[in-house]
Amino acid sequence: MAESSNENSSPDASAYWKANLKWVGILLTIWFIVSFGCGILFVDQLNEIRMGGFKLGFWFAQQGSIYVFVVLIAVYVKVMNGLDKKYGGSKK
Amino acid sequence: MDVQTWTYLLVGITFAIYIGIAIWARASTTGEFYIAGKGVPALANGMATAADWMSAASFLGMAGLISFAGYDGSVYLMGWTGGYVLLALLLAPYLRKFGHFTVPDFVGDRYYSKTARLVALICAIFISFTYVCGQMRGVGIVFSRFLDVDIFWGVVIGMAIVFFYAVLGGMKGITYTQVAQYCVLIFAFTVPAIFISLMLTGNPIPQLGFGGQVVGESGTFLLDKLDGLSQELGFAAYTEGVKPKIDIFCITMALMVGTAGLPHVIIRFYTVKKVSAARVSAFWALLFIAILYTTAPAVAVFARTNLLESIPNKEYSEAPAWLKSWESAGLIGWMDKNGDGVIQYAKGAAFSGKPVYKGDETGANGERLLTNAPSDGVNELYVDRDIMVLANPEIAQLPNWVVALVAAGGLAAALSTAAGLLLVISTSVAHDLVRKTFKPNMTDKHELLWARCSAAVAVVIAGWFGIHPPDYVAAVVAFAFGLAASSFFPVIILGIFSKRMNREGAITGMVVGILFTASYIIYFKFINPELNVKDNWLFGISPEGIGTIGMILNFIIAFTISAFTKAPPQEVVDMVENIRMPEREGEEMEVAEH
């Protein structure tokens, strides 16, 4: 979705934005896989596998996806704080 | 002490705390009133966001819904948590960097258009109103069941409390009250769950307990037992749904995207000091929400198992006391169709509609007689889904103070959400409508007065709907999510991630998305409810999930139109660039007093 008209932004800012988009892309892919993938589209196949009393697909839909969501945001916070330091700090 | 005394005591103490906080944190400027002077720590903001988000529906309604829907109920669990990932990654940090008060502010500035601001404003007010009415109703139910107060007076008491701290304290007062309310509601939700998990499975952690083995039946897993019980009575296996996959997919997506587009959630991320704090708040918010949302499916399984074990094929005269107390509250109904005095419970409705009783008349077994038309099926029992959380501690015979705690928790959930929504309404009216549209020269003091007055008017209107609820509350809520998904979300996303997106594209996209979604929902829910079945739906997608299609339409139309119309002006492109840049040290505390 990013457009090419970056003439008046500094190379730093555009590198920051690219790194940001890359991480958002990775994290949203995982977001999609655990919820829509494991919890909905492939739930029947995963239900063949059992984890204690849980069928795995059912577990992803009602427990697992939520745990992963929390971890995804935690990773994003950490990554972005790093990027802010790298790019924001040098501009000062 | 009996349940009622405990309830008065706990509700009284919690209310006193909320009022005390409101007096301590009252607002004196518009900045404090709207966004708490941007001085809220991330952890506190996360807790407040969680309380704001978890309404009477999450607290009282959701576990009950899942309990009856089994796997199909997963749409709510994934939908209402997954939206926070979108919010944290795609919206919150950028909107915070933009730094104004409201969503219509962003839409109006980014799309350099008063029309766009007005459309966004109307959506924000409509969505918030549909929500706040449901909350007031929740307050009424809790008061009437546990405190023996008429629903009318229950709603009036709730209104008075919300009025006091929302009007006096603004966002600052609301935020710190919500922190207290989060603590009350999460404690009230988890304590009974832990007790029941221990009783049923011997595991104190409900999240693990419902995948464990049943106490006293070694080798039988709880979920297998529940699947078996369900199938014996002719229901689908609990862990396998009945809804078509495409519908599950679309409902989950609409709820996720709708969550990320809800104005009262988005506004929370304006209240923190800087962009990095907006990201951290989103993390804390989801963590605090996840505690309740991972407990809820366990509560649903426990409640369903208890229900299926204790009721079907029992003689009515030997049914447990809680069944009769909820029957007298009008939320359980039993119609002895075959006259054998035994409660048959099976798939399908027992009779048409909600129970309507023949006054106080009782039948041969002492049950309250109903005037509803019986259905053809064998099922004889109606159980209102909303009672499962409230009834659960009684079903499991927990001590009285636990039952009272759940009532206090339900009130905390309803009041915190209502207050947040009222703030959105008052901000929208005073800031977006009056100041930005009609009276640009108004002083700060006047605007604050406008904000307080509109909050007051909104409380009264919401209270009226709480006492006289429209029959279609659930349908209207689906409406709110569909609208948020098909309007706000694409417009905000495109405003941040596409520099080329212009006014023409955004407005047409928004209007087409809303019109499509609204007409689909209105057609099936209000004009032709009898046609609302799978065979008539577009691609098999129910009205609850149609917001997903509306959103896709919005994106496609916005891109097409903007490709053929003039690019946005340079200052807007600069603004988007600025939103995307990392925040520099020192620019974090510009409290906009405009």
| Position A68 in a domain | yes
| Position B114 in a domain | yes
For chain B, the domain total comes to 2
Angle between helices B400-427 and B444-467 (to 10 degrees): 130
Q: Is B196 within 8 Å of B392 (Cβ atoms)?
A: yes
Whether residues B385 and B417 fall in one domain:
no
Where does B150-262 have alpha helices with state H? 151-201, 206-209, 222-232, 245-261
Spatial CA neighbour of B22 closest among B11, B30, B33, B12: B33
pLDDT value of residue A1: 42
Whether residues B196 and B146 fall in one domain:
yes
Whether residues B360 and B431 fall in one domain:
no
Whether residues B291 and B319 fall in one domain:
no
Are B223 and A58 in contact (CB < 8 Å)?
A: yes
pLDDT value of residue B471: 54
Residues of chain B below pLDDT 50: 586-594
pLDDT value of residue A91: 41
Using CB atoms, which residue from B240, B245, B276 is nearest to A84?
A: B276
DSSP-derived secondary structure for B486-516: HTHHHHHHHHHH-SS--HHHHHHHHHHHHHH
CA distance A48 to chain B (A): 12
| Position A4 in a domain | no
Give the count of Cβ contacts less than 8 A between chain A and B. 149
Handedness of CA B61, B335, B314, B318 (dihedral sign): positive
Residue B186 CA to residue B178 CA, distance in Å, equals 12
Handedness of CA B278, B279, B283, B284 (dihedral sign): negative
Are A16 and B286 in contact (CB < 8 Å)?
A: no
DSSP-derived secondary structure for A11-63: HHHHHHHHHHHHHHHHHHHHHHIIIIIIIIITHHHHTTSEETTEEHHHHIIII
Domain boundary among B369, B395, B421: B395
Tokens 């903007």, located at residue: B562
Using CB atoms, which residue from B213, B275, B581 is nearest to A16?
A: B581
pLDDT value of residue A29: 93
Whether residues B387 and B444 fall in one domain:
no
Using CB atoms, which residue from B85, B90, B213 is nearest to A69?
A: B85
Using CB atoms, which residue from A40, A53, A59 is nearest to B252?
A: A40
CB proximity list for B78: less than 8 A, separation 6 or greater:
A35, A39, A61, A65, A66, B252, B255, B256
Are B582 and A31 in contact (CB < 8 Å)?
A: no
| Position A79 in a domain | yes
| Position B488 in a domain | no
CA distance B587 to chain A (A): 11
Whether residues B344 and B443 fall in one domain:
no
Domain boundary among B470, B498, B514: B470
| Position B320 in a domain | yes
Using CB atoms, which residue from B210, B240, B293 is nearest to A66?
A: B293
Which residues of A are less than 8 Å from B87 in CB distance?
A: none
Residue-range definition of the domain harbouring residue B386:
315-395
Whether residues B293 and B324 fall in one domain:
no
Whether residues B282 and B367 fall in one domain:
no
For chain A, the domain total comes to 1
Are B585 and A89 in contact (CB < 8 Å)?
A: yes
- Interface ipTM: 0.86
Which residues of A are less than 8 Å from B584 in CB distance?
A: 88, 91-92
CATH number of the domain encompassing residue B29? 1.20.1730.10
| Position A3 in a domain | no
Residue B19 CA to residue B558 CA, distance in Å, equals 47
| Position A2 in a domain | no
For β-strands A54-55 and A50-51, DSSP reports them as antiparallel
Are B78 and A67 in contact (CB < 8 Å)?
A: no
Residue-range definition of the domain harbouring residue A77:
11-90
Which residues of A are less than 8 Å from B293 in CB distance?
A: 66
Radius of gyration from C-alpha coordinates of chain B: 25
Which residues of A are less than 8 Å from B585 in CB distance?
A: 88-89, 92
Residue B338: strand, helix, or coil: coil
B310: Cα separation from own chain's centroid: 30
Domain boundary among B338, B369, B395: B395
pLDDT value of residue A8: 45
pTM of this prediction exceeds 0.90: no
Whether residues B197 and B338 fall in one domain:
no
CA distance A27 to chain B (A): 9
- Name the region of B170 (left: φ>0; alpha: ψ -120 to 50; beta: rest): left
Are A27 and B89 in contact (CB < 8 Å)?
A: yes
Whether residues B276 and B345 fall in one domain:
no
DSSP-derived secondary structure for B92-143: HHHHHHH--S-HHHHHHHHTT-HHHHHHHHHHHHHHHHHHHHHHHHHHHHHH
B282-337 pLDDT, tens digit each: 898 899 999 999 998 998 888 888 888 887 777 887 788 778 777 777 778 888 77
Name the token pair of A81.
Answer: 């704080």
A10-65 pLDDT, tens digit each: 677 788 888 888 999 999 999 999 988 888 888 888 888 888 888 888 898 889 99
The nearest alpha carbon in chain A to B277 belongs to A77
Are B82 and A77 in contact (CB < 8 Å)?
A: no
pLDDT value of residue B34: 64
Where does B202-221 have alpha helices with state H? 206-209
Whether residues B188 and B249 fall in one domain:
yes
